[in-house]
Chains A and B, each alone.
Chain A
């Protein structure tokens, strides 16, 4: 299966691990990531204003490209996943936004939300299947106790992203189990890390990440995984005593599949 792949800016730069390991894992699992040639930044946060059109167009371009290829659109970064799915929902269900965006775009055929946006984890769960992945694991992460750190953007709003239960998600825990490790469920896994406030108001993210580490470490996790480069940054900058290592989920996947040291 071939997917139109939207890496997003961070994956080309500070979060190359998230991207590189995903590509290697995809090969091992038998699906192909075909990078969209001229993708543009999604903007990082979804423009919530109902009258904001221009800021949604970069997403529409990527979505329309995937449609033209007849492919589903795959992303890895929580923020890109969030923005693309929400803009796609607007294009499909909010006539006003859809009409105005199409007026700007001037496409031969208007884009009406036809593309299916999937997160890499959703492909693992819904298309490959965690059971299948477990079978392909060559280096099981036996004995590792891993906390899934979801953050906000990958889950909420649950009704539009339809990724998992936003208050009691399971996908990353099932993923951890498939890799042979033990998931640690802790209540702060879907609580905010402080997000973009860390640029100007660092205090909040220090407070938030301390709660996240205290909780996950308290419940016995010896590492966290995440899909979000901003969460990764904030967690890494934490000065909490309870700090434990944080990895991109794709790194552990590549490791378990035995493709961490790939050629690419």
Chain B
């Protein structure tokens, strides 16, 4: 028989305001196994923990029930406390009487009754608890970063500088991500490539960093400290070690002159050849052949690039290569794109080439962009004298056309665009239609105010209902000035849409492979929104950049550093403690049917022939065996097992039914 102590926490007024804590103590005192019960203002505080330790010693307690907040919050704290007093940490159970009780109920009597029931269930379980021992697993001292934008680059550099090996897997032919498309960056207006290119070069030359560009993650198995990742290196059709990046092939590719293949990097504002580097500063400076468009791959004819390559680097026979690499930690830095604007026909984006997105504007203002940095209308190549910016296109939407969140970066980049245009071409008229101007951040509001006060950018509070292309080639913007209470009909030359950001396509697939959770908008979920913002709830998976939520470059770089520290903290350990709550097979009842292995998401179950001896049985037969290092204790096998042979240690079938029984009592 256990000797159980029950400790009921007030959590200040969080619990005590709704639950009669004293009454809970009085009522649980007589539960089977309970030899001690007490309450305290803050059980997790040092004084509270000392109370627990003292009680363990004084009353020879063998098990604890803590009635407090969610075990997600403080289970670890109380287990450590028990261990300090010489108790096995798995003899502690937490009854959640805060999140699942006091916070969601109003009626004191009902809440108190429920708290008692929850406590009873936990007590019943502890009566069946057995001490469990944590195992150990080794840590592979290498990290994988998925995504080579500024988030991935910064995370990789910080980990590599701390002395650990890092690989970056990037889907595109070059690292650099969205930031490499930008012209200048707010709030200090540094040129994006001036601050990004050196980091790209550093990544390429860092002895601890390996780059897999034009590559994709195809499969992930294993667990924290010991991931096995399958990486597909797509055939570049160019030998990376032979290519000198001279650019001769791109210049001579016959498709380059035909202007048929839109450049992804320039958002379709210019075309590219079939063999190409996305941009001049690409890292690695090695082109790829786009096989879908290349004449050689389509018809077997052409072959110009192979013929003219001075270093004989072009190789049409190259095939995709799959490598499997071991990692201790994985960082998801898959970034963002802007939403497709097909559902916003009222803004005439598909109708008029002079209605563009902000990223297209970045390309049009970039010295290495399609117009050499000269701002012009795509329709007639004339410089616009009047420009209208429309904010919140698809952001803050309640329907399925857009996104419910604020994209966070648009207010600032629009102020930036307005000022840069005014700097170059001071007599340009600029109007910004906005709903709210959101500029929290160091030197951000000052930045926006400068656009108004110094550059006289016309900010109009109100939305645009429709962009109406005119027969003379201009655009009529029909909107509202809410402060003037007037409908506005504004003739303009160019309209720039601040389209909502969204997580990059493909993040869903990656999240599934990693069993990392994502939210309704496909942003990766943090382990704790406030206290563990760069970790996924899945151990060993970390988050960096826009993949986790909308953020600007300064914030992304900060988060990248934070993710790197978390990774380094993990890789610095030689061994990790493993969760002892793993599945266990009782060979007596197992008939080797394979049901459990089929449902196991971690590949932790194998089968072997074992001698099974028991009452009336003595035979050798196939039974399931759980690899404790791989098992994450999810319990899928225990519920799938048709014969009841699988059980989860710490959450055994008996323990769970006892809990349910005591709730229903």
**Bound-state Cα–Cα, A185 to B343, Å:** 18
Residues 311-345 of B at the A interface (beta carbon under 8 Å): 342-345
Q: Using known A-B contacts A166-B345, A167-B345, determine if residue A187 contacts B466 with beta carbons closer than 8 Å.
A: yes
Given A185-B351, A187-B351, decide whether A167 and B346 contact each other with a Cβ distance below 8 A: yes
> Do residues A218 and B471 form an inter-chain contact, with CB atoms below 8 A?
yes
Q: Report the count of interface residues on B (CB-CB < 8 A).
A: 15
CB closest chain-B residue, reference A216: B471
User: Do B468 and A188 touch across chains, with their CB atoms under 8 A apart?
Assistant: yes
Residues of B within 8 A of A185 (CB): 351
Give Cα A165–Cα B345 distance, bound, in whole angstroms: 8
For window 427-471 of chain B, which residues contact chain A by CB distance below 8 Å?
466-471
Are A218 and B350 touching (Cβ within 8 A)? Answer: no
A239 CB to closest chain B CB, in angstroms? 20
With the chains together, A188 CA to B350 CA distance in Å? 15
* A55 interface contact, C-beta 8 A: no
- Please encode chain A, from 159 to 198, with 1 for each CB lying within 8 Å of some chain B CB and 0 for all others: 0000001111000000000000000010110010000000
Q: Are A168 and B350 in contact (CB under 8 A)?
A: yes
Return chain B residues, CB-CB under 8 Å to A166.
345
User: In the bound complex, do residue A167 and residue B344 qualify as a contact, i.e. CB atoms below 8 Å apart?
Assistant: yes
CA distance A215 to B475 in the complex (A): 12
Please give, as numbers and ranges, the residues of chain B lying within 8 Å of A218 by CB-CB distance: 470-472
* Contact A187-B468, Cβ < 8 Å, known A168-B350, A168-B351: yes
| Cβ-neighbour of A168 out of B345, B468, B471, B472 (below 8 A) | B345
How far is it, in angstroms, between the C-alpha of A122 and the C-alpha of B404 when the chains are bound?
33
B469 interface neighbour in A165, A167, A187, A191, Cβ under 8 Å: A187
Q: A31 in the interface, Cβ–Cβ < 8 Å? A: no
Closest to B400 in A: A159
Interface of B (DSSP majority class)? loop
Residue pair B346, A215 in contact (C-beta under 8 Å):
no
- Count class of interface residues, chain A: 10 to 19
B348 within 8 Å of A (CB atoms): yes
Nearest-CB residue, chain B, relative to A188: B468
Chain A 200-227, CB within 8 Å of chain B: the 1/0 string? 0000000000000001001110000000
C-alpha spacing A193/B358, complex, angstroms: 34
Report Cα–Cα, A30/B9, bound state, in Å: 79
Residues of B within 8 A of A188 (CB): 468
- In the complex, residue of chain A having the shortest beta-carbon distance to the beta carbon of B476: A187
| B471 / chain A contacts, CB cutoff of 8 Å | 215, 218-220
- Name the CB-closest residue of B to A166: B345
Give every chain B residue within 8 A of A187 (Cβ-Cβ).
348, 351, 466-469
Q: A residues within 8 A CB of B470?
A: 215, 218
Contacting residues, chain B, for A219 (C-beta < 8 A): 471
Q: How far in angstroms is the closest Cβ of chain A from B180? A: 32
Query: Quick one: closest B residue to A187, CB to CB?
Result: B468
Residues of A within 8 A of B348 (CB): 187
Report the minimum CB–CB distance from B400 to chain A (whole Å).
9
Q: Which residue of B lies closest to A191 (CB)?
A: B466
CA distance A187 to B345 in the complex (A): 10
Q: Nearest-CB distance from B573 to chain A (Å)?
A: 53
CB of B490, distance to nearest CB on chain A (Å): 15
CA distance A187 to B467 in the complex (A): 8
Q: How far is the CA of A185 from the CA of B360 in the complex (A)?
A: 24
Q: Closest Cβ of chain A: how far from B346's Cβ, in Å? A: 5
- For the complex, give the distance between the alpha carbons of A166 and B346 in Å: 9
Task: Report the nearest A residue to B349, measured CB to CB.
Answer: A168
Measured CB to CB, the closest approach of chain B to A138, in angstroms, equals 33
Per-residue interface assignment for chain B, residues 528 to 566, with 1 indicating a CB less than 8 Å from any chain A CB and 0 otherwise:
000000000000000000000000000000000000000
Q: Which residues of A contact B345 (CB under 8 A)?
A: 165-168
- Tell me, in angstroms, the Cα distance from A188 to B468 when the chains sit together: 8
Closest chain-A Cβ to B353's Cβ sits at a distance in Å of 14
Contacts of B343 in A (CB 8 A): 165, 167
CA–CA, A168 to B471, complex, Å?
Answer: 18
| A178→B416 CA distance, assembly (Å) | 47
> What is the distance, in angstroms, from A58's C-beta to the closest C-beta of chain B?
31
Contacts of B466 in A (CB 8 A): 187, 191
Residues of B within 8 A of A191 (CB): 466
Closest CB in chain A relative to B70 CB, distance in Å? 38
What is the CA–CA distance of A185 and B350 in the complex, to the nearest angstrom?
12
B477 CB, nearest partner CB in chain A, Å: 11
Distance in angstroms between the alpha carbons of A218 and B342 in the assembled complex:
25
- Least CB separation from A217: chain B residue: B471
Query: B467 contacts which chain A residues (CB < 8 A)?
Result: 187
Which chain A positions have C-beta within 8 A of B342? 165, 168
Interface string of B98-134 (1 = CB under 8 A from A): 0000000000000000000000000000000000000
Closest beta carbon of chain A to B476's beta carbon, Å: 8
Q: For B350, what are the chain A residues with a Cβ–Cβ distance below 8 Å?
A: 168
- The distance from the CB of A220 to the nearest CB of chain B, in whole angstroms, is 8
Per the bound structure, the CA–CA distance linking A28 and B468 in Å amounts to: 39
CB distance from A149 to the nearest CB of B (A): 15
Report Cα–Cα, A218/B467, bound state, in Å. 16
| Nearest CB in chain A: distance from B369 CB, A | 28
Residues of A within 8 A of B351 (CB): 168, 185, 187
- Give the residue name and chain of the A residue nearest to B347 (CB): A167
In the assembled complex, the CB of A46 is this many whole angstroms from the nearest CB of chain B, namely 20
Shortest distance from the beta carbon of A57 to any chain B beta carbon, whole Å: 30
Q: Which residue of A lies closest to B399 (CB)?
A: A159
Report the nearest B residue to A167, measured CB to CB: B345
CA distance A168 to B348 in the complex (A): 8
Q: Which residues of A contact B469 (CB under 8 A)?
A: 187
A168 proximity list for chain B (CB < 8 A):
342, 345, 350-351
B-contacting residues, A139-167, CB 8 Å: 165-167
Residues of A within 8 A of B344 (CB): 167
B481 to A: closest C-beta gap in Å: 20
Cα distance, A215 to B478, chains bound together (Å): 14
Distance in Å: Cβ of B599 to nearest Cβ of chain A: 37
For residue A165, give the distance in angstroms from its CB to the closest CB of chain B. 6
The CB with the most chain B CB atoms within 10 A, among A165, A187, A218, A219, is that of: A187
Task: Select from chain A the residue with minimum beta-carbon distance to B471.
Answer: A218
Tell me, in angstroms, the Cα distance from A168 to B355 when the chains sit together.
Answer: 15
- Give complex CA distance A257, B142 in Å: 72
How far is it, in angstroms, between the C-alpha of A188 and the C-alpha of B467 when the chains are bound? Answer: 10
How far, in angstroms, from A166 to B342 measured CA to CA in the complex? 11
* Interchain nearest-CB distance for B664 vs A (Å): 35
In the assembled complex, how far is the CB of residue A150 from the closest CB belonging to chain B, in whole angstroms? 12
- Proximity bits, A28-41, B CB within 8 Å = 1, else 0: 00000000000000
Among A223-243, those with CB < 8 Å from B are none
**B468: which A residues are within 8 A, CB to CB?**
187-188, 215
**Nearest Cβ in chain B — how far from A148, in angstroms?**
14
A213 to chain B, nearest CB (A): 12
User: Min CB distance, A134 to chain B, in Å?
Assistant: 24
Bound-state CA distance A196–B413 (Å) is 45
CB distance from A28 to the nearest CB of B (A): 33
In Å, the complex CA distance between A218 and B469 comes to: 11
Q: Give chain B nearest CB distance to A120 CB in angstroms.
A: 23
Q: Which residue of A lies closest to B475 (CB)?
A: A187
Which residues of chain B come closer than 8 Å to A220, judged between CB atoms?
Answer: 471
- With both chains docked as a complex, state the minimum distance between the C-beta of B371 and any C-beta of chain A, in angstroms: 26
The complex places the Cα of A218 from the Cα of B468 at a distance, in Å, of: 13
Residues 231-259 of chain A, each 1 if its beta carbon lies under 8 Å from chain B, else 0: 00000000000000000000000000000
Q: List 12 A-B contacts (CB under 8 A).
A: A165-B345, A167-B346, A168-B345, A185-B351, A187-B467, A191-B466, A215-B468, A215-B471, A218-B470, A218-B471, A218-B472, A219-B471
Knowing that A167-B344, A187-B467 touch, tell me 13 more A-B residue pairs with CB under 8 angstroms: A165-B342, A165-B345, A166-B345, A167-B345, A167-B346, A168-B345, A185-B351, A187-B351, A187-B466, A188-B468, A191-B466, A215-B470, A218-B471
The 7 A-B pairs with the shortest beta carbon distances in the complex, nearest first, are A167-B345, A218-B471, A168-B345, A187-B468, A167-B346, A219-B471, A187-B469
Chain A positions within 8 Å of B, measured between CB atoms, are: 165-168, 185, 187-188, 191, 215, 218-220
